[in-house]
Amino acid sequence: MNYSPTELLIVVAARMMEDGKTAFIGTGIPMLAAMLAQRLHAPNLIPIFEFGGVGARLSRLPRAVGESRTFSRAVAATGITDIMETAARGFVDYGFLGGAQIDPYGNLNTSVIGPFDRPKVRLPGPGGGNEVGSLCWKTIILMKHERRRFVEKVDFITTPGYLTGPGAREAAGLPEGTGPYRVITDLAVMGFDEETLRMKVLSLHPGVSREMVEERTGFELLWSENLTETPPPTPDELEILREEIDPEGLYR
């Protein structure tokens, strides 16, 4: 079946959500991924939304993290401070983030392009991104794969990845064992090397070559010795995504 790059992103992200785990869900693609995961393989997934919804059963696609659907049949309805405290206490397994820039260590910039005091572009800022990247056990980053986004050094660290490498997160006071887990783009799935903590390509999406990824990355990537091809969306995944989750085609 034919599918769009966005649909592939949603499906790959959904496959990473485990049953019975907690996941900090942001607006857009993470919401669709959570809904797909709940329907297919993770019925006991606990979505957590920034404005207080915990464990909602997502029967209809929310338009934002604070709207009523994020509280539908939830196990708890709290507030933003309680949600961040939950992450700080180590109860959030996965966090989903995006960004304007990312570097080899998974540091994210959503603040400014250019010097902070005289930026070329001022971006939306962190929202809860700093807390998600700092406190969730595993952070999954969803981005479009472009050279201007994948840079050797971000203009501003809004959300810490592995900072400057091994030991840097712990030296900065962040919880040991937390950090970036996967980077999912429209070209590939990447993880982070266990020794150097630099970004490593794990799988290429169907029809994507190594040369394409390297051309659109502004730094040297590591490559897995067991490089694979990302499994494409199945007919069942696409049917549920298109007919039940996003029948209006907002994310195609």
pLDDT at 58: 87
- With b meaning 16 or more CB within 10 Å and e meaning fewer, what string describes 240-249? bbbeebbeee
pLDDT at 110: 95
CA nearest 24: which of 60, 65, 72? 65
Question: Which residues are catalytically annotated?
Answer: 50
5-245 fold: Glutaconate Coenzyme A-transferase (3.40.1080)
Distance CA 190, CA 182 (A): 6
Distance CA 29, CA 242 (A): 13
| Backbone φ, ψ for residue 219 (5° rounding) | -150, 170
Q: Domain boundaries in the chain?
A: 5-245
Split at pLDDT 50, 70, 90, the class of 210 is very high
pLDDT tops 80 at residue 104: yes
Token pair for 175: 């919880």
Residue with tokens 């206490």: 89
Split at pLDDT 50, 70, 90, the class of 189 is very high
* pTM score, whole prediction: 0.93
pLDDT in tens, 57-66: 888 898 888 8
